[in-house]
Structure formats: structure tokens, C-alpha cells
Chains A and B, each alone.
Chain A
Amino acid sequence: MTNINTLKTELTTQIEAANDLQALDDIRISALGKKGRVTALMKTLGSMTPEERKTKGQELNVLKNEITNQLKKQEKVLKKVEMEERLATEQLDITLSIRPERKGHIHPISQTMDELVTIFGAMGFTVAEGPDIEDDWHNFTALNFPPGHPAREMQDTFFLNNPAKVEPEQKSGDTRKLLRTHTSSVQIRHMENNEPPFKTICFGRTYRSDWDMTHTPMFHQMECICVDKDITMAHLKGCLTDFVRAFFKIDDLPVRFRPSFFPFVEPGAEVDIGYFKKGEGIKLGLADNPNDQKWMEILGAGMVHCNVLTNCGVNPEIYQGFAFGMGLERATMLKYGISDLRTFFDSDTRWLDHYGFDPFDRPNSATGQ
């Protein structure tokens, strides 16, 4: 009978020498398989006396466990080696391009309009809507434009050829239709159809008969109106200052109010924001040296004219408030450094890819606008 210790030494040597899983498995079978050498020794236990069996049995069990453990350990080692060999052969060209996917972008004007909703939404304003095709009443008369005002002329305003079926405007009986020249028409519709107080913004397409480097026949405007019993010009200043600072993301952006004139407000103001020259270009904000502070006009504002309130069925003896309006292309150009107005409407994919915005990164109050 083979000495257990000899057998153990012999098997251990074999296991340690095994250099692949197949060899290791062969050793396992030769030792622990049905016909294996350890198994064969186990089989002899049956012919032994109970005392012998007890001692021998214990020894053999120890041997079996030890060999099993050694096999497992060596298997682990060999599997690792094998894995490493396999991985060494599994190389891909990681510099190859990814599968192409189309990427779309939000137009900068839409971005700006989303920003307006975010900023004014936080101030408690809601959005109002109105049609692009307007009548004289909503675009001019209700806004206190005098009868002969040049804006009503063909060289400034687009008029439409009336088809047979036009519903006359209720108050003025207008049937002549035009393309709205500003979004102020929406404030008229909103005030006509709702009860004060009003705290509303609107924005959208506007049209004027002009086409050159700095004018396009279609452009976008926004309009803000705030009417209640106690809304003063101080609120106009506050609201507007808060807005332009939030929009341009400049906390100390200087804002200057100058007296001006628009038929639909009294007093009327033009609003400038501060900038200074930096290198070849300009930078919005407060100049370090007051002498370098320059101003650019950005919007028109004022206290809503009592005639406008009356025209909309709002009693000017009880209600008062402010309104302001701004061209969106210019604001967008300033904010995002876009140099040519006309490119907004060219649908050039190179421009859209460059100046457009990620659909998954929309304006929100967390990141600012």
C-alpha cells in the first residue's frame, strides 16, 4: 500500500507542475476520479478493522481535502493565466469612430424665448398669445397711434389683400388686415379679454417692410405688461433691471432710463445697457473707469397710456401700470455674440450647429438662463 505521505508529495508535485487546465483535470481524475489513486485507497477502507478504518479513514480524508484544495488553487491560477492570454489577443481599434447619430439644435431665437419664460415666470408673469395677422385697431388705433402716423403707411407695414371672407373687428369695424408690426397688439387683445390685474409677457414674430444689413422683413419681439392699482414707474425700473441682468447674466449690468416717446405710453422711456470697449470688440457690463462706460439702446418702455387702458376697457382712474418691449434678435446677438442678423433666417446647418442649443439643456431656474 502506497504510503499516504508519498502519494501526497507525488500529487502535490504533479499539481504544481500542471501548466494547463486539461493537465490539471487529468491529475484530478487520476487522483480523485472513480479509478483514481486516492479513491482506490478509500475503497480499501471497507476491508479494514474498525480501529484501522478509523485512523486510516481520517488520514485519507485529510489527504483528499488537501488534494482537492490544491487542485482548486491551481485551477484558479491557471484560469487567470488563460484569461490573461485571451485578453492579450482581444484588441480593438478604440480610435474608430462611433456609430453616427444626427444631432439637432434649438434655434437661438427659441432659446431666447424659453429664457424669457423662465425669467418672467419666476417673477410671476404668465404668457399671452395673439395672431400675426392683425387689424388696424389692435396694431395701431387701440395703441393710441394718431390717424396719420407714418407707421400706418405702406412703406412701413405689410398689408394683406383681403379675400372675401373677413370678419370685421368688433370695435372699429376694420376689415383691412396687416402683419403686426410689434407684439404690443397682443397686450391689447389680452387686456380686452381679461380682467385686471395683468402680469403678462408675450413674444413672437413681427413684421416690417424693411430689408437690409440690420433689418429683416420678419423679426421677433417681446412685450411685457404689468397693470394693477399700484404699479408705478419704480416697478418698471425694478422689473426691467432685474430682467436684463438675469437675461445677460450680469449682476451689475448698468441700466439707464432716458425719457422718450411712444404713442402707447406716458411717460415713455428708452432703456440703455452699459458696455465698454475691450480689444476689438465690446463687452456688456460696468466699466472699471466711468469714462469708458458706453451705452446701447436695447428696449422701449413706459407707463401704459390712459387712452390705451380705456381702449381696452380698463378704467385708468383705478388701474395703472407699465409696459416694455424688446427686439429679440438683437438681444440674442448681444448675449451670444452673433454678428449678422440675416443669418438667423438662413437655415444654414453650419450656423444652426454652431449657434444652436442642445435640446437636453433647456433654460431653467437652476442653471440660470
Chain B
Amino acid sequence: MKFTLNWLKRHLDTNASLEEICDKLTAIGLELEDLEDRAKSFAPFTVAEIITANPHPNADKLKVLSVKTKDSDSVQVVCGAPNAKAGMKGIFASEGTYIPGLEVTLKKTKIRGIESNGMMVSEREMCLSDEHEGIIELDNNIEIGTPMAQIFGLDDPIIDIALTPNRADCAGVRGIARDLAAAGLGNLRAQDESAVTGSFKSSINVKIEDKDGCPLFLGRTIKGVKNVQSPKWFQQLLKAIGLRPISALVDITNFMSIDQCRPLHVYDADKINGNITVRETKSGEKLEALNDKTYEDVGNGSIGIYDDNNLIGLGGVIGGVSTGSEKETTNVFLETAYFKPERIARTGRDLSIESDARYRFERGIDPEFTFAGMEIATRLILEFCGGEVSEVVQAGKVPDWKHNIEYDTNYVKQLIGINIEQAQQKTILEALGFNISGNKILSITPPPWRGDVFGKADITEEIIRIIGFDKIPSRSVYGSNTGTPAETPLLTKLRKARNALTARGLNECVTWSFLGHEQAQAFSINDNKKLAAITIQNPISSEIDVMRPSILPNLIQAATQNETRGYNDVALCEVGPVFESVNPEGQKIMAAGIRAGRNTARHWSDKNTSRAVDIYDAKADAIAALEACGAPATNAQITRDAPDYFHPGRSGTLRLGSNVLAYFGELHPEIIEQMNIKTPIIGFEVFLQNIPESKKTESKKKASTEKKYLKLEPLQPIERDFAFLVDENIEASNLLRAVISIDKNLIKDAQIFDIYQGKGVEDGKKSIALNVIIQPKDQTLTDKDIEVLSQKIIANVEKKIGGKLRG
């Protein structure tokens, strides 16, 4: 909402400085968005007189001027303007001045060998108009040194405020003045809202059929007007806020919107066929509108203004061309009406029409002011255009807006925490136009322009915003629920998984929760092997039109983007949601990651340091995340049923029974091809919500930070190595289980340290070497004890998996 300081002062009688006004606007909730003090930017430009104008010795079209300015009797200026002549007054800019239209700062210069120390400017060079035929030529009686801003009416600062949607009343300068007056910045000036007596009956009558959309419609004919240009001061106000003056009638309607928040419409009375009817529009009706657009179908349910033949406007949104006022217009019909905000909003949205009228009607204007608005506009028309005024025709009545709010003035203390005397509260509310009765508990009627005030909190807000939020004291809320962790158990897992993965070298990314349907396809397989993508109805782009079923495709894409930047070896992770259904429980929180290319750079110490990433990296990542979250990852079963987007033979699932903890593996070659990845790539996905809560956190009452008792064995562990020949398709875990299950009490651990196939091992077999750690408990083991245990191991391996001890 833009207005100028002088415009404001038409309504507000104040001695406050511009700065005070601006600060106060923000303080009372009318946030200052921009202040353009043009007097300041035009300050270097002042009136000067050309004393002599001689031909330039080296150029036909140039002149050498001697200019008398406020600072000097003679400044030499080289000028190309054809109208420059001795004795003429214009606008001078000295060196060092920024010329807005040229976007340059003037420097002392030589033009064709002659020194030039400034410039006489044209309107275009000052961004005032497109005029560039010559320099600005001023009246001769204007004094040298007069600021240019003063001459052009540019010394009026432009104030722009950000209006919150609840404050329709301040979409008019008068409303803003009222707020400032209530806040102690002066007095609201009285304005003449009295009725102008009509001398005849309007020939045009009004009927309302759409009472819901238009409860009240006032009209008046004014005969014999001259649609001249508005006076200069009026034009300057409109220009300052970016409105182009057109003709007095149009300018007045624009002015009334901005000045009084009272949009209205002026019809050319001679173009109206018969009388006016307000009714709902029907689909198929057409309107050629004043915004230079033709609406072939205005649709159903807008508030239509009709004459006896045609739709001539959409009430409260836009007028029609057929009855618009023109230069030649001599008889007008002036409309002020009240339109229902919801209906206006719908029409505006459906037809995408942004107009000053819509802006105000849809926020809700003052219904009572319909009458005063008619009279103020009438006076302006008479003042600018002359004419003879009819009586007002009225259809409908003012919609019911009055309501009372019971208000205990102690509520300010209760809600805001600040004591404010009842008398002061009353003064503020009355200045804002609220009607107050009662003593202890007040009965308050908000004014008709404050349709946003309903409850006691609204009243309190009015009081406190005028007092100033800076007067509210500050109280800390440091609390004492120290036994309850701030994080939820899930959030703790999120954080721990993130820390574990980044500690393992993966860089944490945040990628979109959505992705393109093409990438999603391969990852959107649900349990029934059916496509189950959740699609966005109104995506911004087809690259992000599906909710992600997995984080992996986004990370793979991130890897390919890094590859294009020249970084092939990346390790990325993300902790966040994936979406299986639109219901809240369909959102799963995952920790996922990928590694691409080589695990590290090559290094002088060992040729094997730099190797291609493989699924054991992914498995390690998954286990690290799980363990960080307290999952018994080492006890998890490993099954070969990872989703189809993994390589079927090089992927696995970590699970506890039916509970899937994680997937890991190499990506399926088809995906790799489809997503155009050139390096090896592995990935993992951890289901953070599937990690069982440790028992101790399940019940808050038994919450315990205690760990299980650890018995430190006094005896040294013993290590023994074995090598077994087994069938090549025997899985390592089977061998380890066969070994450890012999005596879980004694065998502490078994680790495979070599797998060999080739010379010395028959085809179809492999040799697995493992290191077994035996932990004696109560007494040392004799060689014989160990030999017995070894034999048991060998026998069990043979029995369980057909493995033979290698000689």
C-alpha cells in the first residue's frame, strides 16, 4: 500500500517528522516496506540560467554554454540540445552527480576539445518522461537555485507499507491516518461526508437479485460533466504511487480506492441501456473488461452488473468497456456498493483478475461508509468536472455488521503480562473507533471498518499494538523437566545414525522428498511387486512429481551430478523420510547412503589402499548405522531378498525375524545403466523405525542408564587357526555357526582371514581359513583340552557343511 507524506497529511494533522511517522507505522503493525524520499535523490538538481550560448568551434550540433548556477556565476557546459539558448532557465547538474536516466555519474570532461563542467538535463535524463528533444525549459520567473524536486512536485516522500490481510481498513490513506492518530501522532482531520442534494431523480434505477453477493447498491446520475484532466496536484499524488492519470473521472475512482478504501465505479450513463440489475453471472457470458482483456466466459456465480441488455461489469472486480467513461462522456452514473468478500475473492481467483477494487472488497471494506463514499466522490466530480447531481437511488441495505464483545480489561495483564490502566485502554479503543459501554466488564462494539475484530484477544491486540510491543516485558521460560530427554527416541536414532555415517566418511546430503516419476518407477515397488508411486497433483516440474519411495535414487543422482563436476569418488548419505502411503504411518524414516567409484584416493604406501567400493562397504555402513542406534546388528540374520533395484546376487537384507533392519548391496545393472552412472556404486538403506527400542527405555519408570555387568576374565584367551575345504557355494556364516555353536561358552569369536580358490584346491571347492579365539573361564585349558575342542570343531564342520580340514 503506497501513499505519500502529503497525502497522509490531508487526513492527519501532525507535526511528527517523516522518520517518526515511519517508525510508528512499523510499531503499530503497518510495516514500513519502503521509503522513497525523492527530495533527497533530486537534491543535486537545481534551477540554473543559461547566460550565453555560443556555437561549439569543433562541432556543428553542439553549443558551449555559460551557465549561472546557485554556486557560480559562470559554469562552462557543452550541450547538444537544440532548444538551449541564452536567457533560458533549466535544470543543472554539476560534476559528480548521478544522472538516473543515463545511469552515469558526471565527470569533468572535454567534448571535442572544449571543457564541460556539468550538464543541463532533459526530462528523459531525469526519468520523468520520454521527452528528450531538448533540455527542460522552465518558467523564467523561477529563481536560480530552486530545488528541482520542488518544481516538479517530487519533494513528497513516498511511503510503502506491507499490509497484513486482516487490515482492510488501512488499504485507504484515511484508515492509516486514523491508526496513527490513535497512536498519538496527531489528529484525524474531519472530512465532509454530508449528502449533496440532488436536483432531479436518477433516470437509471437499480435492482438487486443477488442479495448474497451485493447487499447494498447506491447509484446517482450526474449530468453535464466535462471529463477534463485532473488538477496537477491530484495527478501528482496518483503519479507518485505509480498510477497513470487518465481523466478526471477515472482518476477520481482510483483516488477513492486509495484515499478512502472505497472502490467505486463511474459508468457513462448514456451507454447504459435502461436500468441496472445485480445478479449472479451464468456460464457462457462474455465481458470485455477495462483491463484490456476479454473474458469469453465469466463463469457461474460472480456478481454481475447488468443493464437491460448486457453484462456491463463484474461487481467489485472490474468494469466493462461498453459503459466505461471516455473523454467525451457528459452524463455519468456513479456506483458505490458493498460486495461480499468471499464472492469477490472467488471471482478474482477464477478469472485471475488483480484490481485495486478486488484487493479491497475481498479483504472487507466498511459497509456503512458506502453512503459517505458516494458523497465524497460526488463532490470531487463536481469540483473537477462540474455537472448536475441527481438524488441517490438505493437498492438493498447495509449488511449487519454490529457485534459486541464482553471485555474484562484485566485480560491485557493476563494475556500480555503488562498492566495497563482501564482508562488508557478505553482511550486507545475509542481513538480507533470502537464503541464502549459498561464499567468493570466492558461491552465493546468494533467499528464497521474493523471486520477482523471478533474476540477478546483481538481487542487486546489493538491495545497492545498501539501501546507498543517494545513495552511488553521479557520473561524467560527456562524450565525443569530435566528427567525427560528433549529428543524423541526416533530423533535420537536419526542423530546417531547421521553421526555414525558421517564418521565413516559419508557426506550428509539433504535432497528433495520428491523425484521424477521416471526415476521413481524402479524404486516404487511395494511388497506386492506393484507400482505404488505417490504422485503430486500440481508439481512444479516433471523432475519432482512423485514422493520418493527410497532415498537412493536421489543420492545416485547426486553422485552423477558430482561426477559431472569432476568428482567421481563420492560417499553420500541422507537421513530422512520416504513415503509408502499418504497416511502418517506410511512415512518411514530412513538412513541411506551410497558410495561410488573408489573408496579412497591412491596412496604411495600400498597399491591396495585404493580399491573399488564393494558391497562390504555398504554392509559395514548399514551395520554402523544400526549399531549406533542400539540395534543388535551382529545378531541380525542376513537374507537374500533385498528389493529389485539391487543386484540379485550382490545384495542382502539384515533382519530380526520378519523385521527388516536394512538393505545393502550393489545397485542393479539396469538402474546403473538407466541413471547413466559410470563408476561402481553400492548403497544401503536402514529402517530406523524398525530398530527395536532397548527394553530400558520402553518404560520411563524403569529408565536406567546402567549397562550390563561385565566380568573381566582373568585368564588369557587362546587362538587357533583352521583351514577347511568346503563347497564353493557354502556361505561363510554357515561355517562360522558350525564352529561357534560347538561351545558358545568357550569359543569367544571366530573370524575368517582367508578365502582361496585355485591351484591346490579342486574345482567347485574353496578353502576358508579362520582364526578361533577360545576364552578359558575358570581354569586354564591343557593342550589336551584344546585338542579335544579342535576335534569337535573339525567334526562339526564336516557334519554341518561337509567341510574338510585342509592338510
Contact = CB atoms under 8 A, between A and B. Distances in A.
Contacts of B480: 124
B582 interface: yes
Interface string A210-226: 11000001100000001
Interface stretch (A43-51, A276-284, A342-350): A342-350
Contacts of A238: 474-477
Nearest to B480: A124
B455 A125 contact: no
Contact of B582 (A99, A177, A210, A349): A177
Given A110-B498, A270-B31, A349-B567, A104 B504 contact: yes
Given A99-B605, A347-B511, A359 B486 contact: no
B511 A345 contact: yes
Contact of A235 (B469, B477, B539, B567): B477
Nearest to A329: B510
Given A102-B599, A158-B538, A267 B460 contact: yes
Contact of B479 (A123, A161, A167, A177): A123
Nearest to B582: A177
B537 interface: yes
Contacts of B506: 102, 104
Interface string B467-510: 00110111111111110111110110001001111111111111
B26 A261 contact: no
Interface stretch (B83-91, B410-418, B642-650): B410-418
Contacts of B510: 107, 109-110, 344-345, 347
B415 A320 contact: yes
Contacts of A234: 416-418, 472-475
B600 A100 contact: yes
B457 A259 contact: no
B476 A359 contact: no
A295 B28 CA distance: 16
A257 B469 contact: yes
Interface string B402-414: 0000000000001
A120 interface: yes
Nearest to A119: B486
Interface stretch (A24-32, A59-67, A76-84, A128-136): A128-136
Counting chain A CB atoms within 10 Å of each CB, which of B488, B536, B610 scores highest? B536
Contacts of B349: 150, 153
A234 B469 CA distance: 10
A209 interface: yes
B504 A160 contact: no
Given A163-B534, A235-B477, A266-B455, A105 B486 contact: no
A121 B538 contact: no
A238 B606 CA distance: 59
Contacts, number: 278
B558 A159 contact: no
Contact of B457 (A123, A162, A267): A267
A241 interface: yes
Interface in B493-548: 495, 498-514, 532, 534-541, 544, 547
A189 to B, nearest CB: 8
A250 to B, nearest CB: 16
Contacts of A154: 537-538
Interface in A77-106: 96-97, 99-106
A148 B346 contact: yes
Nearest to A305: B457
Contacts of B470: 256-257
A161 B538 CA distance: 9
A242 interface: yes
Given A233-B464, A234-B472, A99 B416 contact: no
B576 interface: yes
Contacts of A323: none
A112 B576 CA distance: 15
Interface stretch (B73-81, B159-167, B203-211, B659-667): B159-167
A211 B512 contact: no
Contact of B561 (A132, A261, A348, A362): A348
B581 interface: yes
A205 interface: yes
B565 interface: yes
Given A162-B582, A232-B415, A261-B165, A350 B486 contact: no
A127 interface: yes
B72 interface: no
A352 interface: yes
A62 to B, nearest CB: 47
A166 B603 CA distance: 55
A132 B566 CA distance: 34
A266 B458 contact: yes
A362 B31 contact: no
B546 to A, nearest CB: 10
A159 B600 contact: no
B571 interface: yes
B612 interface: no
B449 interface: no
A72 interface: no
A84 B541 CA distance: 73
Contacts of B581: 163, 165
A103 B599 CA distance: 11
A205 B513 contact: yes
Nearest to A228: B477
B584 interface: yes
A39 B473 CA distance: 101
Interface string A346-369: 111110110010011010000000
A315 interface: no
A351 B474 CA distance: 39
A133 B587 contact: yes
B571 A102 contact: yes
B92 interface: no
A132 B513 contact: yes
Contacts of A148: 342, 345-346
A14 interface: no
Interface in B353-374: none
A246 to B, nearest CB: 11
B258 interface: no
A150 B570 CA distance: 43
B560 to A, nearest CB: 10
A243 to B, nearest CB: 10
A258 B29 contact: yes
A173 to B, nearest CB: 15
A237 interface: yes
B609 to A, nearest CB: 6
B536 A259 contact: no
A346 B512 contact: no
A166 B583 contact: yes
A107 B31 contact: no
A92 to B, nearest CB: 11
A334 interface: no
Contacts of A306: 455, 457
Given A161-B536, A258-B31, 13 more contacts: A105-B507, A121-B486, A126-B488, A127-B487, A163-B582, A217-B514, A261-B167, A268-B461, A306-B457, A348-B565, A349-B507, A356-B507, A360-B503
9 contacts: A124-B481, A161-B535, A218-B514, A235-B417, A237-B473, A258-B26, A258-B469, A266-B458, A350-B565
Interface of A: 96-97, 99-107, 109-110, 114, 117, 120-133, 147-148, 150, 153-155, 158-163, 165-167, 177, 179, 199, 205, 207, 209-211, 217-218, 226, 231-235, 237-239, 241-242, 256-261, 266-270, 303, 305-306, 320, 344-350, 352-353, 356, 359-360, 362
Interface of B: 26-29, 31, 164-167, 342, 345-346, 349, 414-418, 455, 457-458, 460-461, 464-465, 469-470, 472-482, 484-488, 490-491, 495, 498-514, 532, 534-541, 544, 547, 555, 558, 561-562, 565, 567, 570-573, 575-577, 579, 581-584, 586-587, 599-601, 603-606, 609-610
Complex A-B, nearest 3 residue pairs according to Cβ-Cβ distance, in ascending order: A124-B479, A102-B505, A259-B29
